[in-house]
A and B are shown apart, each in its own frame.
Chain A
Amino acid sequence: MTIEFTVNGKPVSVDVDAQTPLLDVLRNDFELNGPKFGCGLAQCGACAVQLDGVSIRACVLPVGSIAGKAVTTLEGLGSESKPHALQTAFIEEQALQCGYCASGIIVTAAAFLKSNPSPTSEDVKRALSGHLCRCGAQPRMVRAVLKAAEATGGSSE
């Protein structure tokens, strides 16, 4: 069936089995690299994207359920020429090792900062506690999120 929605602001349509996980469609049909396959079980957070501004797990969400909605991936947050404050902060803080988990964490952190633009370190840790990082870059990631919040003066963008 044909499903229409937007990805990073652009209208798209895809003709696949409605049960296909959104993650497969984003990666394989739209060739986006941000959202990653990590578990397929909504346990690790590597696949996180925003759906109408809310961070969700694309690996378990059937694409058929998102008709008319807006998907934002890592690529939609910013680019090298116009980076999101979180992307800048992750580079400045060197806040990743392998970086496989970073996309999901940045996407969730971006949604989180919108609702809590001036968080404490404990707030950030709680907000990201559904995301796994195996390299142990969490201390740097928390610093980067706090830095991004500060850089934007609590304006969240």
Chain B
Amino acid sequence: MSTRREFLQASGALAFCFALPACSGDEESAKSGHTLLGNRLQINADGSVDLMLGKVEFGQGIGTTLAQLAAEELDLDFSRVRLSYVDTDSSPNEFYTFSSISVQQAGPPTRKAAAQARAHLLQLAADRLGVAAESLTVADGQVLANGAQTAIDYWSLIGDEHATLELVEDVTLKPVDDYSVIGKSVLRIDIPGKVFGEPSFLQDLRLPDMVHARVVRPSAERAVLEGFNATVAEAMPGVLKVVRDGSFVAVIAEREEQARNAAKALGEKLEWRVPGDLPDSEALYDWLRNVDSRTEPVAEKTGNVDRGAVKTVSATYQRPYQAHASISPSAAVARFADGQLTVWSHAQGMYPLRAGIAKVLGLDIADVRCVHREASGCYGHNGADDAACDAAALAVKFPGRHVRVQWERADEMTWEPYGSAMHIEVSAGIDDAGQIRSWDYDLWSCPHTSRPRDEVQAENMIYARQREGALPLPPIQSIPQPNGGADRNGVPLYTFDRVNVRKHLATDVPMRVSALRGLGAYANVFAIESFMDELADIANEDPFSFRLRHLQDERAIALLEELERVSDWKNRPAPGTGGGWGLGFARFKNRSAWVGVVMRVTVKDGDIQLRWAKAVCDAGLIINPDGVRAQIEGGIVQSSSWTLKEQVRFSNEQKQSVDWNSYPILRFDEIPDIDVTLMDRNDQASMGVGEAAQGPTAAAIANAVFHATGKRLRRLPLVGNERS
């Protein structure tokens, strides 16, 4: 990756600056509305191309995918494209990398910039050759006239000039039939560095005069610091500063182990007043059902259903708090000097992070720069923003040196914002012909976002909560349909005569909650697809045909038919034999990719073993098939882990899930074999797949368990949580 300065100061380069429209239409961006100018693409005379990313990489391969788009429209070999980190000094502002919309959001401007660059260079070539631009083509930068070699290439056209172009909207993109890079499973750009141990992660930053910090946090987030004694810690080797600011406590030391040791010693000298306001895990759903909440209508279809003609069936489904549980505990580096703050962070949005940090620390936004570096996968809003704010606050209190904050495992497990628990009550009216006529669906949950995305929500960051003079907690954020938060995928894709969906959103939440991969879609699809399975069973009908007759969406129908075929469903064994096959299906957000999963399990003494999963995905035009497969495979594994094992445990006083023993996840010897089939939809728009497998996988497992045992499991996780 090149640095900002290399990018901006290059001579002999063609750069494209253009306005990126604000990320309108996305669920968490409703209030962003601003537009920045940014450099997107630079073609260098040395034969390379720099692509300035507005989206961040966290293992999903977005950089490689966008590089493919640029290479395609430029008619260049893919290997010429280099990626640049998101940096608020220079990158396009694409807000957060979230919601599986990176290809949709960043793809079109990348392609247009590349196509315009190609057209511009070909016009230069045409002028030089005295021929019509239409007669020219390009092969890896070489200009061809009527298919014959010329002496001209992109690089000689650029020469020593430094040109900057405004992007125009009216650009002709390559037709599908001409694609040579789009649709290819090119190897990801970032992987070699990661397998050879080159600096690839934020954790690998070793900046001049860097010092090491640890924060010291209590067992519950609303705990207040009442007793503080830094004498022992201050006297320990290497300690440079012990910080107390309200209930925010940290240690800064020369060496990492010194910071860790001093933080441990300091922690033993702190006294906290713990409010005891956390919901005991044993009574979680009673608490969630009864906590102060506000009710919002989600969907209402007032069809005429003769209540006498239907049988009403009801069920309750539950999902606990679950953790992102990233493999790398959050970290950040910050330096404050001459009034300027620079923060290196692995958060999902550098521009919103900059705004949030500026607000919390009372700095002018122009004096704050946020630079992205990768960490481990985050799967949503984890502790990254909070660690960045910790580092920023400490840098201001300890100016002049690079301050590196590293959270410990327990910090990550107990202070990240969890995916919210959900309690779902659904009832359906089904007629004698087995047709579902009415559908009533109520869900109770906490908010599914608390991103520090603007000046008000910045106060969600932990430092802002703990510091002296903290402002009141911001109002909760409810994400409206069509994307939805708690109610994401809460509206069935199936067609019923009458539908009523409501969400009840807790307004006073004593634990941090925010976006976890799929948001409410995971539990809603688990509930809807489990319930469809129950209703199919009541109608004495095959799960596939029962779904198909309630569907009108043609791509959904085609996908299910393909899944039925590739899973060899017709050879599904008889029920109750210990081995079971289950189906789960959804279109993510009801407006993104379609994914269906058939899972085969064996159940023995209550232990659920996953044997294989067959998945089919329709994501429209697929840029990198192997990248899509990887996302679906990873989604199936992670959702299997959530579904079988994961729940954050609380007592009233503390979070009890503090490490990998108290929050176990799926291990190598527990994963199923996975086979992913991609629908060929190259004539359709691309749609993100990163979150699309989470819900279908959960339902496929629960339905497979029912098929194997006749037992319906409705509370997640499915193992060790028996209750039907």
Interface residues of A (CB under 8 A from B): 16-17, 19-21, 24, 27-28, 31-34, 36-41, 43-44, 46, 73-75, 78-80, 83, 87, 90-92, 94, 96-103, 106, 122, 124-126, 128-129, 131-142
Pair A87/B377 contact, Cβ less than 8 Å: no
1/0 contact trace for B345-376 toward A, CB 8 Å? 00000000000000000000000000000111
For A132, list chain B residues within 8 Å (CB).
Answer: 327, 660, 665, 667
1/0 contact trace for B131-161 toward A, CB 8 Å? 0000000000000000000000000000000
Interface majority SS on B: helix, strand, loop or mixed?
loop
Bound CA–CA A113/B326 (angstroms): 28
- A92, A98, A125: the one contacting B327 at CB < 8 Å is A98
For A38, list chain B residues within 8 Å (CB).
Answer: 327-329, 409
For B196, list chain A residues within 8 Å (CB).
Answer: 74-75, 78-80, 83, 87
Pair A100/B659 contact, Cβ less than 8 Å: no
Given contacts A99-B195, A134-B327, A136-B635, contact A43 B626 (CB under 8 A): no
For B537, list chain A residues within 8 Å (CB).
Answer: none
Bound CA–CA A100/B203 (angstroms): 10
Pair B191/A136 contact, Cβ less than 8 Å: no
Bound CA–CA A59/B197 (angstroms): 17
Pair A100/B634 contact, Cβ less than 8 Å: no
Closest approach, in angstroms, between the C-beta of B78 and any C-beta of chain A?
A: 15
For B630, list chain A residues within 8 Å (CB).
Answer: 94, 97, 137, 140
Closest approach, in angstroms, between the C-beta of B327 and any C-beta of chain A?
A: 5
Please list 8 pairs of residues, one from A and one from B, whose beta carbons are closer than 8 Å in the complex, sorted by A's number.
A37-B328, A40-B408, A74-B195, A75-B197, A98-B58, A132-B660, A134-B379, A139-B673
Closest approach, in angstroms, between the C-beta of B210 and any C-beta of chain A?
A: 9
Interface size on B, residues (CB 8 A): 56
User: Quick one: which of B626, B633, B668 has the most chain A CB within 10 A?
Assistant: B668
Given contacts A20-B257, A41-B409, A139-B637, contact A134 B195 (CB under 8 A): no
CB of B188 within 8 Å of the partner chain: yes
Bound CA–CA A125/B668 (angstroms): 5
CB of B592 within 8 Å of the partner chain: no
In the complex, which residues 628-657 of chain B have their Cβ closer than 8 Å to any Cβ of chain A? 630, 633-638, 641
For B120, list chain A residues within 8 Å (CB).
Answer: none
Chain A residue at minimum C-beta to C-beta distance from B58: A98
For A138, list chain B residues within 8 Å (CB).
Answer: 637, 668, 671
Closest approach, in angstroms, between the C-beta of A64 and any C-beta of chain B?
A: 12
For B667, list chain A residues within 8 Å (CB).
Answer: 129, 132
- A28, A87, A125, A141: the one contacting B256 at CB < 8 Å is A28
Bound CA–CA A137/B61 (angstroms): 13
Closest approach, in angstroms, between the C-beta of B697 and any C-beta of chain A?
A: 10
Pair B626/A97 contact, Cβ less than 8 Å: no
Pair A99/B198 contact, Cβ less than 8 Å: no
- The 5 tightest CB contacts between A and B, nearest first, are A136-B637, A98-B59, A136-B634, A100-B376, A99-B194
Bound CA–CA A140/B634 (angstroms): 10
Pair A94/B188 contact, Cβ less than 8 Å: yes
Chain A residue at minimum C-beta to C-beta distance from B636: A136
Bound CA–CA A135/B374 (angstroms): 14
Bound CA–CA A101/B327 (angstroms): 7
For A106, list chain B residues within 8 Å (CB).
Answer: 195
Pair B633/A139 contact, Cβ less than 8 Å: yes
Q: A96-B59, A132-B327, A135-B376 are in contact. List 14 more A-B contacts (CB 8 A).
A: A16-B255, A20-B255, A21-B257, A33-B200, A36-B201, A40-B408, A87-B195, A90-B195, A100-B327, A124-B668, A128-B668, A136-B634, A136-B671, A137-B633
Closest approach, in angstroms, between the C-beta of B199 and any C-beta of chain A?
A: 5
For A99, list chain B residues within 8 Å (CB).
Answer: 59, 190-191, 194-195, 200
Bound CA–CA A135/B626 (angstroms): 15
In the complex, which residues 596-650 of chain B have their Cβ closer than 8 Å to any Cβ of chain A? 626, 630, 633-638, 641
